[in-house]
Structure 1
């Protein structure tokens, strides 16, 4: 998904001087954002065409992996140039921005649910996504939201992203020196969380985060190492024909698995037998909270396979995919707007029910609104600073 490739020569294919990174990262991140938006407005026909129907992972895994790559590219320069404090400062500013955006979209999502109940006689939205805790335990809710201990549904990826961003400075500094050790420690943490159930706590409801940072850090750290290597002008893993066959074969296996129920039943039986024989469920299951092995391997295989073919790089330079690249370059505001619009669509569907035409208009309009925001952020002239 991001090349992870060779020379930093501005003349090489894939180099984008204006962005400072291969445009594939923006194109695929923009595509992931569109699919997240569609999946967050559930029970619409477009869901059938998102990537979660064609493999073990979904757009959330792609978004986290590519966010790791983007972080490795964006922040490793300061560490390589001998100014690590500048890199740490930039990361902390980004973390604070993510936190502010998360709190804002959480409040707006609650307001949308309340408006549906108050003005349109549709209280169901207040009972979904953990919002009802506000009614049952208002004090606990008001404590849990700012502490990230309570996350309403569909607004839980930014808290994960925030925590993972705090790992960026040590991951880059150590990854530039001992990448295999960093990877090994990350794998060990992933296994430990998957086997023991280690997770960040929820409050006031109890339990753990839906997207467990102890598990998802592995995917993000791999992305960071990929980004660090890319910034240095090389691939983390070279293009090897046999590895293209292996990753392509795994992608084909997962596609058949998802589309052929009888085959899936046979394969799940094999996984159950392996689990009964003592193989941990983190290896044999598909749990999203703990990023089970099939999901993890699928997104890594997909990223490697797509990044290993020059035709993908050329395609991402075309005008046809430019809208996705624009969305990807403004990922945080686009995600925030998409989340708010998805809640609004859910509220409308709660009142109106299923409607093919209305679904098409709402989702199409939502994507256009996200494109408009991305274009405004990208191209709107910034105000000049006037010194008095």
Structure 2
């Protein structure tokens, strides 16, 4: 990349609000409730918040890497990226240890041991389970998403290096790997009886496509097109996803097996990928960067959550597992518990984000002084 002067773009409030909403949606989905789940888009289509979160993470890190590459060189950008990878890897290990402690404590103290899918290997063969955890291939319940981000972040620098040299032809690499995964079933082996919840060979395409978009925007490329044909295509994909979902509920005739198979989550089936991209494109072209409603009380809270998404996500894992466990252990009072615990959990996530933001304010003032 020739030396260029790039400026950090102004913060896009849409992204903060959207990330906050995705965090709330992930919490609700993980809690396995019967009421609030109908309010998230995963109930009405074949993709969910996971896809959007991976796409947005790629967009953010792609622009950050490109900015640091232009200002300080490839080496500095790579060191910054590897620092982020190390931080995320260590975060995953800490969350894993704390989550395991919570699971085993609950199983020892509860009269009805809660379900803890995949955690048995850690008790039966701890040395091998720890080794599997360190290489990110032992993924018991709730421990499958952060390893995906570690893998995708490791692919970011080579992809952007290739993008500098051959331009948009570099997209053939992530899409080629994705196609090979769909055709040949490429997937890393899950250890300890667990399965890889998010096949990184497939899901990387979303992350790197997001990185491509982030780099493109930072370099001042033309905005996303708004051709009428794209609206029709996106609407058709969203309608197909709705058909599949309504068929699951028995509200319409089931969708063909071809569509069902194309929406498989672990390998990011083609319909699931297209559905996620269609939703992202529709939001990008239809929602303005600034709108009066974004400054309302609820969007401000969502934006705050979105600005601290990693830490909020980690807390949300613990809270959602606790809610899901309470609902499973007390099925007779599940409805009442859900109506109390899920709003309380969302309030806890918002309060946690506010606390993190207050702690960050002195650092911001020092940096600007």
TM-score by length of 1: 0.84
Q: Which residue of 2 aligns with 1:96?
A: 86
User: In the TM superposition, what are the counterparts of 1:213-252 in structure 2 within 5 Å?
Assistant: 213-235=200-222, 237-252=224-239
1:212 counterpart = 2:189: no
Query: 1:268-321 deviations in whole A, cap 9, x for unaligned?
Result: 15x28xxxxxxxx9xx52211111000000010111111112547526633241
1:162 counterpart = 2:150: yes
Maintained 8 Å contact 1:199/1:212: yes
1:328 to 306, 317, 325: 306
**What SS class does the counterpart of residue 199 from structure 1 fall into?**
coil
Maintained 8 Å contact 1:116/1:347: no
Moved more, 42-51 or 23-32: 42-51
In 2, the alpha carbon distance for the partners of 1:340 and 1:334 equals: 10
In 1, the alpha carbon distance for the partners of 2:335 and 2:167 equals: 50
In 1, the alpha carbon distance for the partners of 2:347 and 2:181 equals: 40
**What SS class does the counterpart of residue 30 from structure 1 fall into?**
helix
Moved more, 303-312 or 66-75: 303-312
Q: 1:289 to 1:248 in 2, by over 3 A?
A: same
Q: 1:75 to 1:378 in 2, by over 3 A?
A: farther
In 2, the alpha carbon distance for the partners of 1:299 and 1:332 equals: 21
* More helix as a share of residues: 2
In 2, the alpha carbon distance for the partners of 1:298 and 1:313 equals: 25
Maintained 8 Å contact 1:306/1:312: no
In 1, the alpha carbon distance for the partners of 2:112 and 2:127 equals: 24
**What SS class does the counterpart of residue 76 from structure 2 fall into?**
helix
1:42 to partner: Cα distance? 1.2
1:175 counterpart = 2:163: yes
Backbone CA RMSD of aligned residues: 2.5
1:255 to 196, 219, 242: 242
Q: Which residue of 2 aligns with 1:356?
A: 335
**What SS class does the counterpart of residue 114 from structure 2 fall into?**
helix
Maintained 8 Å contact 1:149/1:201: yes
2:187 to 192, 196, 199: 199
Q: 1:75 to 1:316 in 2, by over 3 A?
A: farther
In 2, the alpha carbon distance for the partners of 1:224 and 1:251 equals: 24
Q: 1:203 to 1:188 in 2, by over 3 A?
A: same
Maintained 8 Å contact 1:149/1:203: yes
1:48 to partner: Cα distance? 2.1
1:301 counterpart = 2:301: no
In 1, the alpha carbon distance for the partners of 2:53 and 2:293 equals: 17
1:116 counterpart = 2:106: yes
Maintained 8 Å contact 1:41/1:342: yes
Q: 1:35 to 1:262 in 2, by over 3 A?
A: closer
Deviating runs (4+, > 4 A) in structure 1?
A: 260-264, 310-313
TM-score by length of 2: 0.88
User: In the TM superposition, what are the counterparts of 1:1-388 in structure 2 within 5 Å?
Assistant: 20-81=10-71, 83-125=73-115, 128-205=116-193, 209-235=196-222, 237-259=224-246, 261=250, 265=254, 267-269=255-257, 271=258, 284-311=261-288, 313-314=290-291, 317-319=294-296, 320-353=298-331, 354-380=333-359, 381-382=361-362
Maintained 8 Å contact 1:27/1:316: no
1:241 to partner: Cα distance? 2.8
In 1, the alpha carbon distance for the partners of 2:11 and 2:159 equals: 20
Maintained 8 Å contact 1:226/1:236: no
- Which consecutive residues of structure 2, in runs of 5 or more, have no partner in the other structure? 1-5
Maintained 8 Å contact 1:345/1:362: yes
